[in-house]
Homo-oligomer: A and B are copies of this chain.
């Protein structure tokens, strides 16, 4: 054994050396850097989202990027295998957050908060198979808005859908549809179709695949792997192809089987109320009650929804472009209670905007358009026309900074005027403040408008005002 160990250690050492010489200059798998241009687009998307969250009166919180490992345990069902753990370096066992919902529930229980409306925008981590061209990463942003508290039914739920609607409209990503369902309707449906209680979750996860697989394949999975009877599967098949609005809800409330199931009846009753509120908000045109929607996460207890971008009908490309989910959410009334020592429940409902996919689309739109994106906000370049004027440039730029003007200069002692003007062209700086010997004597600065090449002498004491006027 000692010999074997020695041999292995030697092999390991060799591998170590080899690894070093093969050092690869890259970001970890499934992650990326954001360049200044990408950041400019990202900021636009964030601004639209934050503006909407604030319009709805949300506060903002932040939580650590990692949690105690046990905080995340038992909250995500089958997805738990995708959680990133930290190495045990002594002390607590930690994991990177998998979403913002479980940390939010932990925050509420820990601080005994029973009533809050908050948003949280932060990165989450999943050891999933990345598909970066389609906006699927291992490190990605979630933009979450949640309402916690005991309220009258469906009022906060309706607001979450209104928010998804507002944000997707504002971002102009093209046509979209928000599918809505309810965990109670799903569970009631499974019961009346003859699915044994013990199989609710696993059959639910089969139904969840209907947006990627045809019904026949999902049915095969139910019969094979999941061991469901053909009769039960066929009955499910009839329900999950249904989608519509208020009239479908009314129809199902009259359904001889479903209406006998208490859970389904509750769910349908609330769904009706939800659609009444959505009608008052004027957004039912893009909302579809869809019995095939079954979101994966374990913690949902009531309404669930998911927003998808809809392919334009006049789009006849050969390869079908995958157009996925851009927002989702639902009600999770039991999660906070899982953290509370006494199990006290705080009902919650929330919406999460999937920024990466939206960001990919926005980036493509900008690439396709002629729009030139500025990555700085600089108003004026402090330049000189002759040599030996570094000190004068430093003095002037300092005055401008102190007056709140966004100003740059080239970090050269004697830059050529042409290079200074070229820098403005490249970066979109609209004005140049040129100091020269004659101007210094006259107590003026030459102000040049880059776009028109117009030049005017401005008295030094009026320069700040003049720049502000011209760039406002």
Give chain B residues whose Cβ lies under 8 Å from the Cβ of A106: 25
Q: Is the pair B280, A25 in contact by a Cβ cutoff of 8 Å?
A: no
Give chain B residues whose Cβ lies under 8 Å from the Cβ of A70: 19-20, 23
A residues 21-67 near B (Cβ < 8 Å) are 23-29, 31-36, 39, 42-43, 54-67
A residues 376-426 near B (Cβ < 8 Å) are 376-378, 390-391, 394-395, 398, 401-402, 404-408, 411-413
User: Contacts A84-B89, A411-B156 known; A123 to B65 CB distance under 8 Å?
Assistant: yes
- For this complex, into which size category does the number of interface residues on chain A fall? 35 or more
| Nearest B residue (CB) for A381 | B57
Q: A-B pairs with the 6 shortest C-beta distances?
A: A36-B59, A151-B411, A57-B408, A31-B64, A34-B62, A85-B87
| In-complex Cβ contact of A412 among B42, B151, B406 (8 A) | B151
| In-complex Cβ contact of A281 among B34, B127, B281, B398 (8 A) | B398
Interchain CA distance A88-B111 in the complex, whole Å? 34
Instruction: Give the secondary structure class of A's interface.
Output: mixed
Interchain CA distance A58-B29 in the complex, whole Å? 29
Q: Is the pair B378, A57 in contact by a Cβ cutoff of 8 Å?
A: yes
Minimum C-beta distance from A460 to chain B (A): 16
Give chain B residues whose Cβ lies under 8 Å from the Cβ of A63: 27, 33-34
A341 interfacial contact with B, CB 8 Å: yes
| In-complex Cβ contact of A408 among B28, B56, B391 (8 A) | B56
Interchain CA distance A59-B96 in the complex, whole Å? 29
A324 interfacial contact with B, CB 8 Å: no
A86 interfacial contact with B, CB 8 Å: yes
A109 interfacial contact with B, CB 8 Å: yes
A256 interfacial contact with B, CB 8 Å: no
Give chain B residues whose Cβ lies under 8 Å from the Cβ of A42: 62
* A interface residues (Cβ-Cβ under 8 A, vs B): 19-20, 23-29, 31-36, 39, 42-43, 54-68, 70, 84-89, 91-92, 94, 96, 106-107, 109-111, 116, 118, 123, 125, 127, 139, 147, 149, 151-152, 155-156, 158-159, 162, 166, 277, 280-282, 339, 341, 375-378, 390-391, 394-395, 398, 401-402, 404-408, 411-413
Interchain CA distance A29-B151 in the complex, whole Å? 35
| In-complex Cβ contact of A147 among B34, B281, B411 (8 A) | B411
Q: How many monomers of this protein are in the complex?
A: 2
Give chain B residues whose Cβ lies under 8 Å from the Cβ of A158: 394
| In-complex Cβ contact of A68 among B28, B89, B96 (8 A) | B28
Q: Is the pair A34, B61 in contact by a Cβ cutoff of 8 Å?
A: yes
Q: Is the pair B85, A89 in contact by a Cβ cutoff of 8 Å?
A: yes
Q: Is the pair B401, A56 in contact by a Cβ cutoff of 8 Å?
A: yes
Interchain CA distance A32-B341 in the complex, whole Å? 20
| Nearest B residue (CB) for A404 | B55
Give chain B residues whose Cβ lies under 8 Å from the Cβ of A65: 65, 123, 125, 139
Q: Is the pair B162, A398 in contact by a Cβ cutoff of 8 Å?
A: yes
Q: Is the pair B406, A54 in contact by a Cβ cutoff of 8 Å?
A: yes
| Nearest B residue (CB) for A94 | B28
Interchain CA distance A390-B109 in the complex, whole Å? 30
Q: Is the pair A61, B87 in contact by a Cβ cutoff of 8 Å?
A: no
| In-complex Cβ contact of A57 among B118, B125, B407 (8 A) | B407
| Nearest B residue (CB) for A123 | B65
Interchain CA distance A156-B86 in the complex, whole Å? 39
Give chain B residues whose Cβ lies under 8 Å from the Cβ of A149: 411
Q: Is the pair A107, B376 in contact by a Cβ cutoff of 8 Å?
A: no
User: Contacts A62-B39, A156-B411, A411-B151 known; A405 to B55 CB distance under 8 Å?
Assistant: yes
Give chain B residues whose Cβ lies under 8 Å from the Cβ of A27: 63-64, 67-68, 110
